[in-house]
Structure 1
Amino acid sequence: MKVHHLSVENSIVNKFLAEIRSVDIQKDAMRFRRNIERIGEVLSYELSKTLSYDSSGIQTPLGIKETALPKSDVVLCSILRAGLPLHNGVLNYFDDAENAFISAYRHHPNNDEAFEIVVEYFASPDINDKNLLLIDPMLATGKSLVAVYEAIKKYGAPKKIHIVSVIGSEEGVALIREAFPEETELWIAAIDPELNDKGYIVPGLGDAGDLAYGVKL
């Protein structure tokens, strides 16, 4: 798996990362969502450079301009609910893409720190022989993405998988490297060193879904 780690180089994405991590700035849910969206836009721009393009003649008022345009073979699939702001950012750039949504959440059967990933809902167009962009802002343990991948495989075989994420842990990245096809590419803004005993990324930012949409029961 090829990993594109944006924050190892200086760019405006580091400002957006700083703001979503800040305990003061992240109190503004609207700004938190917008910063996640903006990170999605930056990741999408970088990802777009790797897609296939066809030349097309564009009629202007004064002539015809040959322009390389991306093929329309992209499906965006976000993991509910935390993936929605990031999905919006990616959709801003791939605005003619097809869209899929899947639910995956941590279930604590014994009301302790141990959990399993439950996938209950999947709505999607045909994904066969298309570029599938799996969108999940927090790549913590990596178990959610693996469970999602196993569920999606029952519905078709994409041409290639791109994983789009905001912050991940080294452990999570290692897990998906083993679980996903070798040609998969990961587009991620930041990779943090560790997880705490609850499986949250450290230093991370907390619970992205709660920060974007409010605390859940």
Structure 2
Amino acid sequence: MTLQLRVYVPEHPLIKHWLGIARDASTPPVLFKSAMTELGRWLTYEACRNWLPTEETTVETPLAACPATLVNPEVPMAIVPILRAGLALLDGAQTLLPLASIYHLGLVRDEETLEANCYLNKLPSKFDPETRVMILDPMLATGGSIMRTMDEVTTRGANPGLMRIVAVVAAPQALQQLSQNYPSLNVYTAIIDEGLNNRGYIVPGLGDAGDRAFGT
């Protein structure tokens, strides 16, 4: 069976609402940050479908015993926010995955070459191959940052088939690169935009997510 990248754009009214708030150029930083937190929460919720490891057990209600399905805490989970902008999604994601380890990866784009340079790498030396890894990157534009992240994570043993990428806006260019190199991946994004301008920014996009989230 040939694998193919799966990209999900959830038809959820709250995702659409907060995307609209985040896109609006007049949205102040404090509200933009709230919008990103909510997008992180709801996109993570969607990304967790059929992904979180569960176990069957029995619990005692106040009246009787009954079967229950619980998230298995023995299976490792990790969240990798790509700094800086990925931090804006982290609060929302972490509220749903409180047991996940957080591994920060700092990347900055060279505006001339559009390549992603790493200035901070807090990834473990080796991932357990069963680890569920969620990568937070609000903007999948040229593909430079997400491809660098995938290289860093997979060389440490993480399985692309067990990963989820959570983005807010994605461009076809980045998705094509992911599809060619990691066809078993699953991507969750609020919208797929039409493309990039001559500076490599997503159009219509929402601007620089890091600058807008942190008021810089």
Q: Return the TM-score normalized by structure 2.
A: 0.88
Shift of 1:162: 1.0
Percent identity between the aligned chains? 28
1:150-201 per-position Cα deviation (integer Å, ceiling 9, x unaligned) = 1223322336111111111122111211122x22100111110010111110
1:16-60 per-position Cα deviation (integer Å, ceiling 9, x unaligned) = 0100001112xx212111111111111121122212311133344
3-state SS of paired residue (2:13): coil
Number of the residue aligned with 1:12: 14
Residue 124 to residue 58, structure 1, CA distance change in 2 (3 Å): farther
3-state SS of paired residue (2:155): helix
Matches within 5 A, 1:99-178: 99-108=102-111, 113-125=112-124, 126-129=126-129, 130-158=131-159, 160-178=162-180
Number of the residue aligned with 1:74: 77
Contact 2:114 2:144 in 1 (8 A): no
3-state SS of paired residue (1:155): coil
3-state SS of paired residue (2:158): coil
Number of the residue aligned with 1:187: 188
Counterparts of 2:72 and 2:7 in 1: how far apart (Å)?
Answer: 23
1:67-90 per-position Cα deviation (integer Å, ceiling 9, x unaligned) = 212223321111011100211111
Matches within 5 A, 1:43-58: 43-51=43-51, 52-58=53-59
- Aligned-partner residue type, residue 122 of structure 2: A
Counterparts of 1:152 and 1:120 in 2: how far apart (Å)?
Answer: 15
Counterparts of 1:99 and 1:171 in 2: how far apart (Å)?
Answer: 28
Give ranges in structure 2 of 5+ residues lacking alignment: none
Between Structure 1 and Structure 2, the one with more strand by share is 1
Residue 34 (structure 2) pairs with residue 34 (structure 1):
yes
Counterparts of 1:117 and 1:20 in 2: how far apart (Å)?
Answer: 24
Q: How many residues align?
A: 206
Runs of 4 or more consecutive aligned structure 1 residues displaced over 6 Å after TM superposition: none
Q: Return the TM-score normalized by structure 1.
A: 0.88
3-state SS of paired residue (2:205): coil
Instruction: Choose which of 20, 23, 26 in structure 2 pairs with 1:24.
Output: 26
- Aligned-partner residue type, residue 25 of structure 2: V
Contact 1:78 1:87 in 2 (8 A): yes
- Aligned-partner residue type, residue 34 of structure 1: S
